[in-house]
Amino acid sequence: MTSELDIFVGNTTLIDEDVYRLWLDGYSVNDAVALRVRSGILEQTGATAGVLQSDTMDHYRTFHMLERLLHAPPKLLHQLIFQIPPSRQALLIERYYTFDEAFVREVLGKKLSKGTKKDLDDISTKTGITLKSCRRQFDNFKRVFKVVEEMRGSLVDNIQQHFLLSDRLARDYAAIVFFANNRFETGKKKLQYLSFGDFAFCAELMIQNWTLGAVGEAPTDPDSQMDDMDVDLDKEFLQDLKELKVLVADKDLLDLHKSLVCTALRGKLSVFSEMETNFKNLSRGLVNVAAKLTHNKDVRDLFVDLVEKFVEPCRSDHWPLSDVRLFLNQYSVSVHSLDGFRHQTLWDRYMGTLRGCLLRLYHD
Amino acid sequence: MPGKLKVKIVAGRHLPVMDRASDLTDAFVEVKFGNTTFKTDVYLKSLNPQWNSEWFKFEVDDEDLQDEPLQITVLDHDTYSANDAIGKVYIDIDPLLYSEAATVISGWFPIYDTIHGIRGEINVVVKVDLFNDLNRFRQSSCGVKFFCTTSIPKCYRAVVIHGFVEELVVNEDPEYQWIDRIRTPRASNEARQRLISLMSGELQRKIGLKVLEMRGNAVVGYLQCFDLEGESGLVVRAIGTACTLDKLSSPATFLPACNSPSKEMKESPLVHPPSHGCRSTHNSPIHTATGSRLTQSFSVSVPTLIYTGMGSGSAGKEGGPFKALLRQQTQSALEQRGGSPHRFCRRREFPFLTLTAFPPGLLVHVGGVVSARSVKLLDRIHNPAFVGIMGNTRSYKLLDWNSFNSDEPETRDAWWAEIRQEIKSHAKALGCHAVVGYSESTSICEEVCILSASGTAAVLSPRFLQEGTVDGSLEQRVEENLPVGCGFCHIPYDELNMPFPAHLTHCYNCRKQKVPDVLFTTIDLPTDAVVIGKGCLIQARLCRLKKKAQAEANATAISNLLPFMEYEVHTQLMNKLKLKGMNALFGLRIQITVGENMLMGLASATGVYLAALPMPGGIQIAGKTPSDGSYEQHISHMQKKINDTIAKNKELYEINPPEVSEEIIGSPIPEPRQRSRLLRSQSESSDEVTELDLSHGKKDAFVLEIDDTDAMEDVHSLLTDVPPPSGFYSCNTEIMPGINNWTSEIQMFTSVRVVRLSSLNLTNQALNKNFNGLCENLLKSLYFKLRSMTPCCLCHVNFTVSLPEDELIQVTVTAVAITFDKNQALQTTKAHAEKSLQRASTDNEELLQFPLELCSDSVPSHAFPAAKEHPESASSNSGTPAAQRAVTVEKASPMGDGNFRNRSAPPCAGSTVGVVKMTPLSFIPGAKITKYLGIINMFFIRETTSLREEGGVSGFLHTFIAEVFAMVRAHVAALGGNAVVSYIMKQCVFMENPSKNQAQCLINVSGDAVVFVRESDLEVMSTQQPAVNCQPTCTGEVTT
């Protein structure tokens, strides 16, 4: 006696969270059944393996049918075929768009193209995440990217509106989209110690301060092309950053800057002497990073540069984080006292964000 | 021109991409009613077109309004080639034709295509203006309300129950027309859908006419079925109960909702003998039926008797075991009863009610289950005349469409009339003048068709026969005074002239009247019945192999097998009932399905322990070869297992009836006055009681003889039924006896399984085992799936078996899981207990258990004082005054955590789709039905030629059923409703051809669209405008 057909359809669609997770994780029905058996569900419920198999198949079928709708979450809300309570709808969407840390670190900043998709095999092997799950996550990134790429307005809002994600997840996706668009390098060996959270934090700061959207805080013409483009960095701003070069190119200015910082921090830093000796190198590093941002290539290497030019030197001298914070604060503020320097607002826009990023990036 | 139908096409959304080049669609809509068609403009390049059309107006007869569906077709405009159809929506406008139902149909409907399924949605507004006084039009029956619900609908009061109405309509099946060879599957499917829609409309109109002739205004318990007879055509038939209903005024002042049907009846209805000759069951010739009868009593020695029944000439090839006896009894029983029951029968051809729950006081006695089956050949090759072969009355009829088309319904009518006649005579033999819980069904395989009918023989209150007059017969006076709660168990037939051998005892409740030892019925448990413990689902499952044969040979083979199947199904039911330690079955439904090479029998019922009936004896096993020592040991081992199971079941279902002994006098009749009277009657008959107690010793325990391996298998199979896991209960009736504290969470579901039997040389045993396993596994799966809802009860569990192909068995289950509150149950019962303690302070401890088990049975305790205090109400038999009952009901009403939990759930942000609940029950726990919007009766066909791509057979059917649910919900929502009650999937015919990558499925569903209001919201709303009740949006509750 073999089962030809075996279905269960509820007026309210039954969603089993555990099975949904297994499905999202890309397990086959048989693997999922095996995993469920291992979880001890048979003992708890007194069910047989056959029942479990049938139940799993059923849920998988439902999820498969729902997947089409999950690709455009507002559809899930308006469709009539599956009656799902709103809280469950939210759960389905949120979980579907949730990604693995290990996976996102692999593709963050990469072009979301066919080429990258081909690499998913390797990523799967490397991370231990099933290929199916990798594909889903990659397709999610790509789908969100495609939808919001050309859209005006706040990136996070756009994502939330079109994919009905929670605030937290929408912010993460904004970071992913931002990174993918600007192709920031995150895969280098020296960046491996950074988590997705670190990058997402930086992305948020950069979106807030360095993009087109950041300038037009009170847009006069909401339809104008200038209005709130969150995805691209503000080109004009990047051009202007060249002006900061004077801080290191002008010897007097650099010395004055150094003395201002040293005076203020004397006795407050445990690594004062190291700071004093390294000041010029550090300052050059930070200002040069700014000056180079006109080139796309250098934009991509932003994080590599920051780590190389600032994080690594400080770390090798064993700066504690509190000292880094004190230093960066003083380093930024002191510029205001440099009479010959005229680009105070530019400096603040640059350094305000950079300081936040550096503090986040400064850890082991 | 009595009606104007107005239709407006507003918008579409989520349309499929029809133009690959632009990824868009140029959609327009055709609106068709009858022969008139309107079109909207083409809305270019959009998947979300906004047509916002003018009002399309159709001026039509109300007859057409009833018959025709409104047909809306969405198409993609194509300049160069033919326009492509996207899909269709059929809207039944019947709900707009009665004044109290919906006034407008407005909402999003799924656009359905029989090949592609749902393809987007369309927003439509439909209105009807009726010009003339409808009652003057005889061809139409606008205004007659239809209800699928098999009890008096909640917001109505039955003024008169007129009785049985039936009708059938026959047509050629488009699938088998010559044109089908040249048209597309889509065209063929659509022709079929449209035809069936038309036929159901016509059928409903005709039934409505009959109701009007009977001076009724509604049909309750309306059951419409399709017989897909293949080449010989398509039959749409319906039965129902004609009533005159009164709408209860001002919904805000309603009694609180109750969990069981018909409690809200303020007054009892009167069964009204139609004074005008009703045109019912149009005079088709009545042939002697071929049928077999089941009553609640069987003994092991019966099988030989079946043959005597069979031989009785035209009386039927599968005549019941007691047929001969019955014939003699019928006469005498009727003579003895005399009086009004006679009148009842004489007045109408078939005194049948399709109701399964009754207004208080209507149901007096229940005799037992009566059923009849007959095997017919659907044949068009043979001579066009009735041919009787081998002394049987199997009818053969040529169904040549060209020459005999008009004759056809008569034949089908005659077949059914035959069966009904048989049922009627069975009922008479049981001393009953009426049949309640009546239903009819068919099973068709190729050209053989089994027609089945079954119901419960009953005596209805004679006083209900004539409006306003009280029959002064002494006998009835006595009956009147019977305590509620056990009266229906008392035998209606004469003790000295029993129609079959049965053990009678004095009623364990009132100690006055005689009751049988077991009671089988097809109805729901009466609300006032006194039940001990909880009930459970009991199923008998059976397969019988049959040789493949053609035509008559096949029919003969089937009719030869039927009596054995009936007998075995019955034995199984009886054994399982005893194994559960219970003594009555409610909601019994026996389905016999015919296939190419086998017959399947599946009986489902809800077992309960009726306090009025004696404690069931155990099951004893007797071996045939006592010499063998090891064998003996085996037998005793088995005996022990059986005894253990019985004990375990008693504990599981909380069956602990008070010990029956003479010391305990007077069953728990809490009212002192009542009790004293009972005490007297007790002492009068005390010696008889002793006698009867003796008769319930070991000697009459059910004996199973194990004489061969077959019997051994049977016993084993008895023990393989696993009880549901803890936290689960199941029943196939409306409510679970013993559970009264429902919370509001419900989950209706349909589950379908098809299995392929592996080997070709199957034995009956292997087949039985497979089938048993299939059903048990299905139940286990359900319990597993719904485990998050525990504690919960599966109610109205409805199994359907079909045999689509040689080695395929298909089982379809529809049921609803309802959560209940365990803690609240304790409180409620405690309250009950305390109350009864106060009232009957002399009751000893053991008796206290009794009220503990009452579900909503405080009714009897109130009923009598009320009746005594208000003599006028006693004489009009109004039962319990509404107010009093309201108090008791409220206590049991499910105001559990569920309500609050749901209310605190986050509001559905942004979702435009309102929740529509679906349930096979007639009520919604924790809610009040405020309005019936009309009947939902939908028929869909789905076909695919890319089965693999759609996820195989499971994927295909899963999607289809989900789509059917969606379409039902959309129609209900468009009517302004938020739930479907009495929902039933009447047909789910699935055919596959995997080698061709094809499959087809037909589904027919029906139910009543309603508006319900949460009880918790009701109070708030009653202070506000009552009109708000009609808004479906007001209940934004969440189902989980």
Q: In the 3-class helix/strand/coil scheme, how is B938-978 assigned residue by residue?
A: EEEEEEECCCCCCCHHHHHHHHHHHHHHHHHHHHHHHCCCC
- What does the alpha-carbon distance between residue B295 and residue B500 come to, in Å, rounded to a whole number? 9
For residue range B505-557, list pLDDT tens digits in order.
Answer: 888 877 777 888 888 999 998 888 888 888 899 999 988 888 888 878 888 88
- Name the percent of chain B lying above pLDDT 90: 24
Q: Does A130 touch chain B (CB under 8 A)?
A: no
Dump pLDDT digits (tens) for B68-122: 889 999 999 887 778 888 999 999 888 888 766 677 899 999 999 999 999 999 9
Q: Are A351 and A283 in contact (CB under 8 A)?
A: no
Which residue type does A292 have? K
Q: Could you tell me the pLDDT band of residue B907, with boundaries at 50, 70 and 90?
A: very low
Quick check: A76 and A90 in contact, CB under 8 A?
A: no
Partners of A64 on chain B (C-beta within 8 Å) are 951, 955
Q: Measured in Å, how far apart are chain B's first and last C-alpha atoms?
A: 48
Q: Which two tokens stand for residue A67?
A: 């997947």
**Residue B653: how many other CB atoms lie within 10 Å:** 23
- C-alpha A141/C-alpha A163 separation (Å) is 12
CB of A43 within 8 Å of a chain B CB? The answer is no
How are strands ordered across the β-sheet holding B36-39?
B36-39, B27-33, B70-76, B84-91, B105-113, B117-130, B3-13, B56-60
Nearest to A75 among B14, B783, B958 (CB): B14
Chain B CB within 8 Å of residue A54 CB? yes
Tell whether A353 is within 8 A of chain B (Cβ). no
Residues B247, B249: Cα–Cα separation, whole Å: 6
Q: Which residues, listed in sequence order, are joined to residue B813 by a DSSP beta bridge?
A: B751, B799
Instruction: Give A 292-351 residues with CB within 8 A of chain B.
Output: none
Give the pLDDT confidence score for residue B500 in this predicted structure: 62
Strands (E) in B757-892, as ranges, are: 792-805, 808-820
Residue B253 Cα to chain centre, angstroms: 30
Partner residues linked to B110 by β-bridges: B121
Residue ranges of E strands in B671-791: 702-706, 728-730, 742-756
User: Rounded distance, CA B426 to CA B294, Å?
Assistant: 9
Q: Would you call A45 an interface residue with chain B, using a CB distance cutoff of 8 Å?
A: yes
pLDDT in tens, B968-1006: 999 999 999 999 999 999 989 998 888 888 999 999 999
- Kindly tell me if the per-residue pLDDT of B830 is higher than 60: no
Alpha-carbon torsion angle B637, B643, B646, B651, nearest 10 = -110
Contact B581, B650 (CB under 8 A): yes
C-alpha to C-alpha distance for B1037 and B906, rounded to whole angstroms: 10
What is the rounded average pLDDT of the residues B681-703? Answer: 34
Task: List the single residue in B725, B770, B917 with the smallest CB-CB distance to A45.
Answer: B725
Q: Are B309 and B322 in contact (CB under 8 A)?
A: yes
pLDDT digits (tens, 9 = 90+) for B578-602: 888 888 999 999 999 998 888 999 9
Find out whether A214 and A231 touch, Cβ atoms under 8 Å. no
In the Cβ-directed half-sphere of B281, how many Cα atoms lie within 13 Å?
Answer: 20
Confidence label for B758 from pLDDT (cuts 50, 70 and 90): confident
**Residue B856 contacts residue B889 (beta carbons within 8 Å):** yes
Whole-number percent of chain A with pLDDT over 90: 46
- Which of A5, A13, A87 is opposite residue B752, by nearest beta carbon? A5
Which residues from chain A sit within 8 angstroms of residue B108, using beta carbons? 80
Q: Look-up: residue for tokens 């998913």?
A: A120
- Cβ separation A14–B785 shorter than 8 A: yes
Strand partners, B754: A5, B810
The stretch B1008-1027 carries a mean pLDDT of 70
Any chain B CB within 8 A of the CB of A228? no
Helix (H) or strand (E) holding A208: helix A196-210
* Gap between the Cα atoms of A303 and A184, Å rounded: 7
Give the separation between CA B596 and CA A308, rounded to whole angstroms. 81
Best mean pLDDT range from A19-33, A274-288, B216-230, B462-476:
A19-33
Tokens of A225: 């092309």
Of B777, B906, B912, the CB nearest to A87: B906
User: For residue B280, which of B352, B178, B193 has the smallest C-alpha distance?
Assistant: B352
Instruction: Give residues 881 to 940 of B whose Cβ lies within 8 Å of A.
Output: 905-913, 915-918
As given in the structure block, the two tokens for residue B813 are 């289950």
Of the candidates B470, B502, B458, the residue with the CA atom closest to the CA atom of residue B352:
B458
Neighboring chain B residues of A62 at a CB cutoff of 8 Å: 958
Position B740 scores a pLDDT of 78
Q: Are A145 and A112 in contact (CB under 8 A)?
A: yes
Rounded Cα gap, residues A98 and A23, in angstroms = 13
Nearest CA in chain A to B965: A11
C-alpha B540 chain-centroid distance: 18
Q: How far apart are CA B101 and CA B128, in angstroms?
A: 12
Torsion, CA B730, CA B734, CA B739, CA B745, rounded to 10: 80
Which pair of structure tokens corresponds to residue B67? Answer: 């018959």
Q: What is the pLDDT of residues A101-116, one digit of tens each?
A: 999 999 898 888 877 7
The helix/strand/coil state of B624 is coil
How many angstroms separate the CA atoms of B255 and A28, rounded? Answer: 54
Model pLDDT, residue B254 = 37
CA distances from B845 to B52, B833, B848, B851 (A): 73, 11, 5, 11
Average of pLDDT values for B461-479? 44
- Residue numbers in B near A88 (CB within 8 A): 1040
B487 or B936: which leads in pLDDT: B936
The answer to whether B782 faces chain A, any CB pair under 8 Å, is: yes
**3-state DSSP call for residue B581?**
coil
- Per-residue pLDDT reduced to its tens digit, B759-770: 666 788 888 888
Q: What integer is the mean pLDDT of B263-285?
A: 35
Q: How far is the alpha carbon of A260 from chain B, nearest alpha carbon, in Å? A: 56
> What CA–CA distance (Å, rounded) separates B927 from B1013?
5
Residue in the block written with tokens 């609300």: B527
Closest CB from A9, A80, A81 relative to B750 = A9
The owner of tokens 């041919």 is B387
Per-residue model confidence (pLDDT) at position B761: 64
The 8-class DSSP code of residue A308 comes to I
Chain A residues close to B910, C-beta within 8 Å: 74, 77, 164
The arithmetic mean of pLDDT across residues B857-874, rounded, is 36
Structure tokens at A25: 């994780």
pLDDT of residue B415: 87
Q: Do A58 and B955 count as a contact with CB atoms less than 8 A apart?
A: no
Q: Which one-letter amino acid corresponds to residue B159?
A: V
Spatial neighbors of B352 by CB under 8 A, at least 6 apart, are B163, B164, B239, B241, B420, B423, B424, B434, B435, B436, B438, B455
Direct distance between the N- and C-terminal alpha carbons of chain A, in angstroms, rounded to an integer: 61
The rounded distance, in Å, linking the Cα atoms of B370 and B384 is: 33
Identify the CA nearest to B162 among candidates B201, B205, B224, B213: B213
Least trusted range by pLDDT, from A21-30, B140-149, B418-427: B140-149
Q: What is the mean pLDDT of residues B387-393?
A: 31
Angle CA(B577)–CA(B580)–CA(B583) in degrees, nearest 5? Answer: 50
Range among B519-533, B695-709, B857-871 with highest mean pLDDT value: B519-533
Cα–Cα distance for residue pair B297/B457, rounded to 1 Å: 14
Where is B110: in which H helix or E strand? strand B105-113
Report in angstroms the alpha-carbon separations of B271 from A29, A313, B509. Answer: 59, 99, 28
Write out the two tokens for A261.
């910082």
Q: Is the pLDDT of residue B290 over 70?
A: no
* Per-residue tens of pLDDT for chain A, all 364 residues: 677 899 999 999 999 999 999 999 999 999 999 999 999 888 888 888 889 999 999 999 999 999 999 999 999 988 899 999 999 999 999 999 999 999 999 989 888 887 777 789 999 999 999 999 999 999 999 999 999 888 888 889 999 999 999 999 999 999 999 999 888 999 888 899 999 999 999 999 998 888 877 665 444 444 444 445 777 888 888 888 888 888 888 888 888 899 999 988 888 888 888 888 888 889 999 988 888 888 888 888 999 999 998 999 998 988 899 999 999 999 998 888 888 788 888 888 899 899 999 999 998 7
* Chain A contact for B388 (CB, 8 A cutoff): no
- Two tokens, residue B807: 């080695």
Q: Decide if A38 contacts B842 (C-beta within 8 A).
A: no
Q: How far apart are CA B774 and CA B755, in angstroms?
A: 8
DSSP string of B339-387? SHHHHHHHHSS--B---SS--TTTEEEEEEEEEEEEEEE--SSS-SS--
Mean pLDDT calculated for residue range B914-937? 90
Backbone angles phi, psi at B684, to 5 degrees: -60, -40
Q: Give the pLDDT mean for B860-883.
A: 37
Q: In chain B, whose CA is at the least distance from the CA of A76? A: B911
Which whole-number Å values give the CA distances from A273 to A265, A269, A270, A279, A317, in the listed order? 11, 9, 8, 10, 10
Query: What whole-number percentage of chain B has pLDDT above 70?
Result: 65
Give the pair of three-digit tokens for residue B516: 């049988």
Contacts of A8 in chain B (CB under 8 A): 749-751, 781-782, 785
Q: Residue B668 has what pLDDT?
A: 39
CA distances from B936 to A231, B245, B824, B1006 (A): 52, 20, 35, 5
Quick one: average pLDDT of B54-59?
92
Q: Does B48 touch chain A (CB under 8 A)?
A: no
- Pick from A101, A212, A195: which is nearest to A155 by CA? A212
- B726-730, B827-831, B1033-1037 — which one is most confidently predicted on average? B726-730
Name the CA radius of gyration of chain B, rounded: 28
CA distance B695 to B505: 9
**pLDDT on residue B88:** 94
CA dist., res. B528 & res. B516, Å (int): 19
pLDDT value at residue B710: 62
